[in-house]
Structure 1
Amino acid sequence: MDIKEIQNLIKFVAKSGASEVKLEMDDVKITIRTGGTDSKSESTTYVQQIPMGQPVAQAPAALAPVAPAAIESPEASDDSKYITIKSPIIGTFYRKPSPDKPVFVEVGTSIAEGDVLCVIEAMKLFNEIESEVSGKIVKILVDDSSPVEFDQPLFLVDPS
């Protein structure tokens, strides 16, 4: 199962309104849980690679869900005029295409639709994340080389 299939499955489950979906295949075990159908629902996804020939066992305790940090501050109301660019996949966020290259964008960089903003490495594949909006980068919300979750905010963009 490749990353695109997993992304499509997550989107499908989120739109369907199901509260939990479990999928077990020969080498992959996926559990997707959603908090409900309201706009503030929480979504948790686990993907576990299982070596071929190994019996499928109970998921280890290390896969316990991590509660997202509450981000309610006075700044939140100021950020409402900005567009949030979110992670389309789970992986590791990188601001540069490689360690010896310059970063894709900085705060204050003007961007257009289709510009590469970062790369997210998932299962040894480096996925370029392109902008779907034009504007100016106001804030970078994730540190370089940090793990990111599906739908986690990465950048704030001023569309004006």
Structure 2
Amino acid sequence: MDMKQIKALVQEFDASTLSKLKITQDAFSIELEKNIGAVAAPMMAAPVAVAAAPVAVAVTAESAAAVHTGDMILSPMVGTFYSAPSPDSAPFVKVGDRVKKGQVIGILEAMKIMNELEAEFDCKIVSVLVSDSQAVEYDMPLFAVEKL
């Protein structure tokens, strides 16, 4: 499976009512599991809060796009963004940093798996559009950049 197929699988699994999924294909194997009980309780307890969260994310993404019309680094998946490898560490990148292709610029946690976010091209960080530990959506702008 390539990365796009994995991302699509994670999104479909997240939206489904399945609680566990295991796929093995040749030498590749992936196992996904979620706790349906823990997810269902907050949704029943505060449906307004759940509905309000995507609206706030959409406004943030739109305002970020309005501020910077150049290149962006987008979130490849739904998850939680972390700017540093640990809470007491320095961030991977800050405004003004020059980044090489393949350099780690953040971490995205999805389903308790820490995924390193790497730059897809050489660039300069113009603006960091999300805060540490912020929930992010698929294709949400994370960094405004200038390609080098």
The normalised TM-score by structure 2 is: 0.65
Q: Where does residue 96 of structure 2 map in the other structure? A: 108
Equivalent residues in 2 for 1:119-158, closer than 5 Å? 119-158=107-146
Match of 2:68 among 72, 76, 79: 79
Verify: 1:69 aligned to 2:59, yes or no: yes
More helix by share: 2
C-alpha separation in 2, matches of 1:151 and 1:105:
20
Q: Where does residue 27 of structure 2 map in the other structure? A: none
Secondary structure of the equivalent of 1:69? helix
C-alpha separation in 1, matches of 2:97 and 2:140:
21
After superposition, the C-alpha distances for 1:95-134 in whole angstroms (9 at most, x for unaligned) are 1001232210010100111010000112221110001011
- C-alpha change, 1:63 and 1:118, in structure 2 (3 Å) is same
Verify: 1:118 aligned to 2:106, yes or no: yes
Cα displacement (A) at 1:4: 7.7
Q: Where does residue 8 of structure 1 map in the other structure? A: 8
- C-alpha change, 1:10 and 1:111, in structure 2 (3 Å) is same
Q: Where does residue 23 of structure 2 map in the other structure? A: none
Cα displacement (A) at 1:7: 1.6
Secondary structure of the equivalent of 2:68? helix
Equivalent residues in 2 for 1:52-67, closer than 5 Å? 60=44, 61=47, 63-64=50-51, 66-67=54-55
- C-alpha change, 1:135 and 1:89, in structure 2 (3 Å) is same
- C-alpha change, 1:90 and 1:127, in structure 2 (3 Å) is same
Where structure 2 has 5 or more consecutive residues not aligned to the other structure, the ranges are 21-33
Whichever residue aligns with residue 8 of structure 2, its letter is N
Q: Where does residue 36 of structure 2 map in the other structure? A: 50
Where structure 1 has 5 or more consecutive residues not aligned to the other structure, the ranges are 14-21, 29-47
Cα displacement (A) at 1:9: 3.6
Identity %: 38
C-alpha separation in 1, matches of 2:142 and 2:117:
10
The normalised TM-score by structure 1 is: 0.61
